[in-house]
């Protein structure tokens, strides 16, 4: 599978989908982005069970701002609507492969339980003030 382009309308659908999604925030003028593109494309062909998406920050500035993208390239990985990874800078082929492996291995039941616990604790704290 090749990469898909996301915009503000398709972003939510991609993050809410069943498959994990790894997003590359890039711009046409960005040298490191251009160097990373073939690595990202290659990974997309090797992992049919992960969606690889790109967001052109020049064409989607509102989306980039909403997600606090301050430098490019930036990678974000979501699974079951949870942001699991966010990092500026291009990854090597082996680093990207390791990221994909780790994203697939995350125990999402545990992640959702941790989020619920944190939200409950936050609610308890706000009740005390």
Which of the following is catalytic: 6, 21, 22, 33? 33
Strand 51-56 vs strand 4-5: parallel, antiparallel, or unpaired?
parallel
Tell me if residue 66 is catalytic.
no
Which of the following is catalytic: 30, 67, 100, 103? 30
**How many Å apart are CA 88 and CA 109, to the nearest integer?**
27
Name residues whose C-beta falls within 8 Å of residue 76's C-beta, 6 or more positions apart in sequence: 22, 23, 25, 67, 83, 85, 86
Tell me if residue 115 is catalytic.
no
Report helix, strand or coil for 31.
helix
Instruction: Tell me which residue of 127, 87, 104 sits closest to 49, measured CA to CA.
Output: 104
Instruction: Name the residues annotated as catalytic.
Output: 30, 33
């Amino acid at each position: 599978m090749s990469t898909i382009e996301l915009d503000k309308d398709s972003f939510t659908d991609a993050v809410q989908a069943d498959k994990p999604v790894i997003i590359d925030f890039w711009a046409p003028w960005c040298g490191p982005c251009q160097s990373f593109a073939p690595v990202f494309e290659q990974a997309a062909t090797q992992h049919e069970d992960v969606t690889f998406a790109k967001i052109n920050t020049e064409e989607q500035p509102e989306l980039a701002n909403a997600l606090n993208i301050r430098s490019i390239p930036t990678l974000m990985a979501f699974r079951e609507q949870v942001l699991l990874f966010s990092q500026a800078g291009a990854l090597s082929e082996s680093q990207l492969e390791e990221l994909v492996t780790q994203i697939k291995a995350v125990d999402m039941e545990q992640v959702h339980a941790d989020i619920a616990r944190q939200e409950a604790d936050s609610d308890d704290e706000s009740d005390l003030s």
